[in-house]
Amino acid sequence: MGGAIGATHDRFAGNVMFRSKSGSGDPDARGVPDGSARERILTAAEELFADDGFEATPTSRIAERAGVPKGLVHYYFRRKPDLLVALIERLPDEPVHVDRVVVPGDVAASLRKLVAEFDAGLGASPSLSHLLWREADTHHAVRDALQARYQRIVRQIRAVMVAALCPGGTAASADVDSAAELLALAVSYRHSVARHGDTPHIDREVTFVADALTLGAGRPSVVNP
């Protein structure tokens, strides 16, 4: 008896879950929601989290903004923090090809072109970058994802430094690893405050790091491109 009641409840919940408020036909012919509903939910969550904060935004408001039933939000994202994890995937993460930015023998010009590529990706959603950095202190998944993103930035910066310093060789007399980490910190900080109008420029930091590398600052190290 209990099982029959439970099954009836599940079928009823499913019917409510897949019925679109907007009448736009979120489910397909099989009753399965399409991808556009998930994207609308994420867009609504991004906007509301950025404006009001994660904790202050109930899933009912996200559903209302997205034009979907509240049950559909929980269908895609069982827990509200799962929305944050999914939003991380919206951050631009395409690697910058070294050949596209490197000016052989000119570290400063190479790094400026690389930073411009990073900024172009950031321009797609500065509010998203800001809100994820803001929530990183209280959500481990977000913090871990941003740390992994930072390490990827370090590797890209390092690769550009090496290619610019040593167009045909494998050795450099500067601490490339520390220089790459320092510049990556500046880039990451810039992106963390990107939503504000006074986003800091880092040309001074780029020039300082490039000059230091060119002069061989830091410990001698073997550089493998």
Burial of 106-129, coded b for 16+ CB within 10 Å and e otherwise, reads ebbbbbbbbbebbbeebeebbebb
Whole-number percent of the chain with pLDDT over 70: 70
CATH architecture of 2-88: Orthogonal Bundle (1.10)
Instruction: Note the pTM of the prediction, 2 decimals.
Output: 0.68
HSE (side-chain half, CA atoms, 13 Å) at 40: 20
Q: In this predicted structure, which of 1-5, 67-71, 102-106, 157-161 has the lowest mean pLDDT?
A: 1-5
The answer to whether the beta carbons of residues 224 and 171 sit under 8 Å apart is no
**Where in the chain are the domains?**
2-88, 98-222
Q: Please write the tens of the pLDDT for every residue from 77-123.
A: 999 989 988 888 877 777 888 999 999 989 999 999 999 888 877 65
56 versus 14: the higher-pLDDT residue is 56
Q: Is the pLDDT of residue 223 over 70?
A: no
